[in-house]
Amino acid sequence: MKYSPSQENYIKAVYHLQLESSTVTTNALAQALDTRPASVTDMLKKLKLQKLLLYEKYRGVKLTAEGRRLAVQIIRKHRLWEFFLVHTLRFGWEEVHEIAEELEHIGSGKLVDRLDAFLGFPQHDPHGDPIPDRLGKLPAGTHSALSEMPLHRHAVVRGIGDQRPVMLDLLRDQQIALGTKLEVQKKFSVDGSVQIKIRGRQPVNISAYAAKNILVGYDK
């Protein structure tokens, strides 16, 4: 199936927003896509017909398996092109996003796969974001900041960014150490803080700064 750039942008936006809260609102989409809520409603109806997402009016929206598959392929293209722009064409990492927004809509699957091979199957783009492989799988045992974690994904603390005593002090206080298993339950967009759950304990809040410096790994 072939989708328009606009449709692809909607699917991608839903995917990204779903990482922050599992069902996505019309307004959030309108803001992310720089468009009007009414336009979002219109498009959601079309995407629902194409079975790319589940949508009940006033109830928000979720991707179907097919929608997720599509989103991941678009993200794969985006990140591979960014890698290409920075490492092959020597663009600065700040300039590549906009160009990749266009390139990600180029159709040919063979093109992406050849590009992937040419680049040496990179696992992370220039911003540190993981690049899905041909089958949509993220690099195994990925490290990413706690602040970047999708909700409810089980993860293990693998490293600490800021290792100053003040930071380690905070971690000790919260009983977080290498190997601690946790999941993000909620994200507060006001200040970027996250609420995490560790089995057998009460949920606790972690500031945006700390969350950026707690590196976690997860499988699949």
Partner DNA sequence: GAAAATATTTAGATTTGTCTAAATTTAAAT
Partner DNA sequence: ATTTAAATTTAGACAAATCTAAATATTTTC
Binding region for a second copy (CB under 8 A): 85, 88-91, 95, 98-99, 102-103, 106-108, 110-111, 114-115, 118
Q: Which residue has the tokens 């783009």?
A: 125
Residue closer to DNA, measured from CB, 60 or 132: 60
Among DNA, a second copy, none, partner that 58 touches (CB below 5 to 8 angstroms by kind): DNA
Cβ closest to a second copy, residue 9 vs residue 142? 9
Q: Which of 79, 82, 63, 73 is nearest to 10 (CA)?
A: 63
106 contact choice in DNA, a second copy, none (CB below 5 to 8 Å, kind-dependent): a second copy
Residue among 59 and 201 whose Cβ is closer to DNA: 59
Q: Which does 41 bind (CB under 5 to 8 A by kind): a second copy, DNA, none?
A: DNA
Helix (H) or strand (E) holding 156: strand 155-160
H or E element, residue 76: helix 65-83
Contacts (Cβ under 8 Å, ≥6 apart) of 8 = 70, 74, 104, 105
Retrieve residue 35's tokens: 């468009």
Distance from C-alpha of 100 to C-alpha of 76, rounded to nearest angstrom: 11
Q: How far is the CB of 3 from a second copy (least distance, A)?
A: 14
- What is the three-class DSSP state of 181? strand
Beta strands in 40-180 (DSSP E): 53-55, 61-63, 142-145, 155-160
**Minimal distance, residue 91 CB to a second copy, in Å:** 7
**Sign of the alpha-carbon dihedral angle for 19, 21, 26, 31:** negative
Q: How far is the CB of 99 from a second copy (least distance, A)?
A: 5
The minimum distance between CB 8 and a second copy, in angstroms, equals: 13
Q: Which residues pair with 188 in a beta bridge?
A: 193
- Give the binding site for DNA (CB under 7 A): 4, 6-7, 25-28, 35-46, 55, 57-60
> Per the structure block, which two tokens stand in for 13?
């936006």
Q: Which does 220 bind (CB under 5 to 8 A by kind): DNA, a second copy, none?
A: none
Would you say 3 or 209 has its CB closer to a second copy? 3
Cβ 118 to a second copy, closest distance in Å?
6
Whole-number minimum distance, CB 98 to a second copy, in Å?
8
